[in-house]
Amino acid sequence: MNGKTLVAMSGGVDSSVAALLIKEGGAFCGGAAMRLFAAEGGCEDARRVALRMGIPFYIFDLTDEFSGAVIDDFIAAYRRGATPNPCVVCNRLMKFGIFFERAGELGYDLMATGHYAQIFFDSGARRWGLKKGADESRDQSYVLYSLTQKQLSRTLFPLGALTKAQVREIALANSFDNAKKRESQDICFVPDGDYASFIERRTGEPFRCGNFVDASGRVLGRHRGVERYTIGQRRGLGLSLREPLYVCAKRAEENVVLLGRDEELYSKSFTASKINLIACERITAPLRVKVKIRYRAREERATVEQISDDGIHVEFDEPQRAVTPGQAAVLYDGECVVGGGTID
């Protein structure tokens, strides 16, 4: 593809090198940053990189949209007992939603990002596909499973065939100020990682205390709000117990956190909703896949069936630990993304 391309620039090294590669490839290239919340400083970093490369640059002020679509959704998910992945939601609604449409409105044929993933066209299926990035340690296909055929057909991932080390070398060779910029591992709007305190500050409402219970309903102690806990958690419960117990479930409607032994954390199956399929329009028969239930989780063998227009049922070959409602479940066929959904 060699169309007029708008690059989503965050101020980091990955999106900066993506813009450089687009420009060096001969395409007309512009850059744009999304201002998503007040404390964000990446827009000015991105502006400096764009100025250095001599490309047009825009800032899209999406603070209101991000607040409603991503932050409020994040809080609502925690309140109903789920553990959300806001990066997946942001990619779907902001970067490949609003940004994607703005690029078209500005006359750009394509958009590009610094994601480590690869897009291809399957001539047999006559569909656009998504597969893992060449750098396995940096692969981001998991957070991109929601891309539609239209979005895939008009998106470029210039870093898909590169390693992170190669990207930093390119940045250093071009004297980018951000060549050695440290990357954040936290959610952008909760940089200290304290999700519970963020939710309390944001809502102005303290969490409701309730009971820790076991599978028989026996009260084991008091919790400080279901929002403070996640499936599989052992530390930080504030209890003195005779044996190690873990968070096995959260029943937000009852304000109860269920504790159990490690073996009680394992599940053989789950359902997921809000699905998006990339490799096919519909799963018409039981399909053998590998499934990733968290970004850093290992893929596990399973069989998937589509049970509704918006739902799938996944049956693992072997029980898996801490399958967590709210997280994304992504299906793979080898290196290729079949699709995914949100664990119910």
Binding-site residues for ATP sit at: 8-15, 34, 114
Look up the CATH number of the domain holding residue 112. 3.40.50.620
Residue 200 included in any domain = no
Q: Does residue 178 fall inside a structural domain?
A: no
Within this chain, do residues 134 and 227 fall inside the same structural domain, yes or no? no
Residues 150 and 270 in one domain: no
> Which of 188, 209, 280, 336 is labelled catalytic?
188
User: Are β-strands 57-61 and 29-35 bridged in parallel, bridged antiparallel, or unpaired?
Assistant: parallel
Is beta strand 155-156 parallel, antiparallel or unpaired with respect to 110-112?
A: parallel
Which residues lie across from 59 on neighbouring strands?
Answer: 33
Per-residue confidence at 305, pLDDT binned at 50, 70, 90?
very high
Is the pLDDT reported for residue 26 higher than 90?
A: yes
Does 221 lie in the same domain as 121? no
Same domain, residue pair 9 and 137: yes
The domain containing residue 256 runs over which residues? 207-260
Please give the pLDDT value at position 184. Answer: 65
Residue 22 Cα to chain centre, angstroms: 24
| 22 & 50 share domain | yes
How many structural domains is the chain composed of? 3
Q: Which two tokens stand for residue 68?
A: 């409603």
| Percentage, residues of the chain above pLDDT 90 | 90
Q: Which of 30-39, 143-152, 177-186 is least confident?
A: 177-186
Q: In the predicted model, what is the mean pLDDT of the chain?
A: 94
User: How many other CB atoms are there within 10 angstroms of residue 67's CB atom?
Assistant: 15
Q: Does some domain include residue 320? A: yes
Residues 240 and 144 in one domain: no
CATH code of residue 217: 2.30.30.280
Does residue 221 sit in the same domain as residue 310?
A: no
State how far the Cα of 304 lies from the Cα of 132, in Å rounded to an integer: 20
Pairing type for strands 266-277 and 311-321 reads: antiparallel
Q: Binding site, residues?
A: 8-15, 34, 114
Using the 3D structure, point to which of 215, 236, 260 is the last residue of a domain.
260
Q: How far apart are CA 172 and CA 336, in angstroms?
A: 32
Is residue 218 in a domain?
A: yes
pTM given for the model: 0.93
Domain end marker among 260, 295, 321: 260
Q: Is 280 a catalytic residue?
A: no
> Choosing from 90, 209, 248, 336, which is the catalytic residue?
90
Query: Do 74 and 220 fall into the same domain?
Result: no
* Of 227, 260, 293, the domain-final residue: 260
Do 34 and 150 lie in a common domain? yes
Task: Say whether 75 sits in a helix, a strand or coil.
Answer: helix
pLDDT in tens, 211-266: 999 999 999 999 999 999 999 999 999 999 989 999 999 999 999 999 999 999 99
Question: For the chain, what percentages of helix, strand and coil (3-state, to nearest 5) are there?
Answer: 30, 30, 40
Q: Is 87 known to be catalytic?
A: no
Asked if 256 and 285 sit in the same domain, the reply is no
80-119 confidence digits (pLDDT tens): 999 999 999 999 999 999 999 999 999 999 999 999 999 9
- Is pLDDT of 153 > 60? yes
| 204 pLDDT above the threshold of 90 | yes
Say if residue 69's pLDDT is above 90.
Answer: yes
pLDDT at 44: 87
Lowest mean pLDDT among 38-52, 156-170, 300-314: 38-52
Distance CA 207, CA 209 (A): 6
Provide the terminal-to-terminal Cα distance of the chain, rounded to the nearest Å: 38
Which residue stretches of 4-130 are H helix? 13-24, 42-53, 63-66, 72-79, 86-90, 100-105
pLDDT class for 71, splitting at 50, 70, 90? very high
Is residue 1 pLDDT above 60, yes or no? no
Q: Are residues 166 and 17 in the same domain?
A: yes
- Are 113 and 78 in the same domain? yes
